[in-house]
Chain A
């Protein structure tokens, strides 16, 4: 059983640029959630996708957007990057629509914005 994978592992961008992060969910999982984890803090919920539809969103601006594909993999897009967007971005997948089902996390993508 393949776990949650994320790419790339690390990424360096400059302010104002756009970035796309990718996540492959665990086999059999149809829900993907994205989190931002700033240094020294807990993860913050960005949004969740269930069967290709957004199924909940945290307190993040519209320049954070996402997609889920028919194979349940997902992308996180961030436009107009700001310095404060530097963080570890975590993807998690689970079965079903609710996140009280166990979420399995990927290792994350570390984004640095200069």
Chain B
């Protein structure tokens, strides 16, 4: 079964600095990979997803992620952090064999002024 590991439960950056949130996956079949954001007291919102094709995926709010099969990674980046980016971020993996989407434990991003 597929699984996801998010490295770092908390990440703190200064406003304007690079955001890098790490995600490694395990899957026996070609994976579908997702990043979701969760603001306090809200549901999850899809930032971006990789299914097939181009390995560099651009999402909403200036985020992007690169699927690296050789490293089994799907790290999320943003060149310049905004205060509004402070939230919980979840990486998730699914595959074409079933609909069991597996989420990582999440990374809480704090943005300092």
Beyond A99-B94, A100-B32, A100-B51, whether A45 also contacts B43 by CB under 8 A is no
Tell me which residues across on chain B come within 8 A of A40, comparing CB atoms: 105-106
**What is the minimal beta-carbon distance from B2 to any residue of chain A, in angstroms?**
11
Enumerate A1-33 residues with CB–CB distance to B below 8 Å: 4, 33
**Residues on A with beta carbons closer than 8 Å to the beta carbon of B105:** 40-42
Contact of B44 among A43, A56, A98 (CB under 8 A): A43
Docked complex Cα distance between A56 and B97 (Å):
10
- Contact, CB under 8 Å: B101 / A42: no
Shortest B78–chain A CB gap in Å is: 20
B75 CB-CB contact with A under 8 Å = no
The chain B residue with its CB closest to the CB of A41 is B105
Q: Which of A64-72, A74-82, A104-112 contacts B (4 or more CB under 8 A)?
A: A104-112
Q: Tell me the count of chain A residues lying within 8 A, CB to CB, of chain B.
A: 27
Main secondary structure of the interface of A (DSSP, over half): loop
Provide the bound-state CA to CA distance between A57 and B98, in Å: 9
- Give the residue name and chain of the B residue nearest to A107 (CB): B43
Q: Digitize B34-55: 1 where CB-to-A-CB distance is under 8 Å, 0 elsewhere.
A: 0010000111111001010000
Report whether A56 and B90 are in contact in the complex, using a CB–CB cutoff of 8 Å. Answer: no
Q: Known: A42-B90, A42-B106, A43-B90. Contact between A99 and B42, CB under 8 A? A: no
Chain A contacts of B49 at CB under 8 A?
100, 102
Distance of B7 from chain A, by nearest CB (Å):
14
Specify which chain B residues have a CB less than 8 angstroms from the CB of A57 in the assembled complex: 100
- Contact present for B103 and A56 (CB under 8 Å): no
Chain A residues with CB under 8 A of B90: 42-43
Contact string against A for B residues 65-97, beta-carbon threshold 8 Å, 1 for contact and 0 otherwise: 000000000000000000000000010101010
- A residues at B contact (CB < 8 Å): 4, 33, 35, 40-45, 48, 55-58, 90, 92, 97-100, 102-108
* 12 pairs, A vs B, C-beta closer than 8 Å: A40-B105, A43-B90, A48-B99, A56-B99, A57-B100, A90-B43, A100-B32, A102-B49, A105-B36, A105-B45, A106-B43, A108-B43
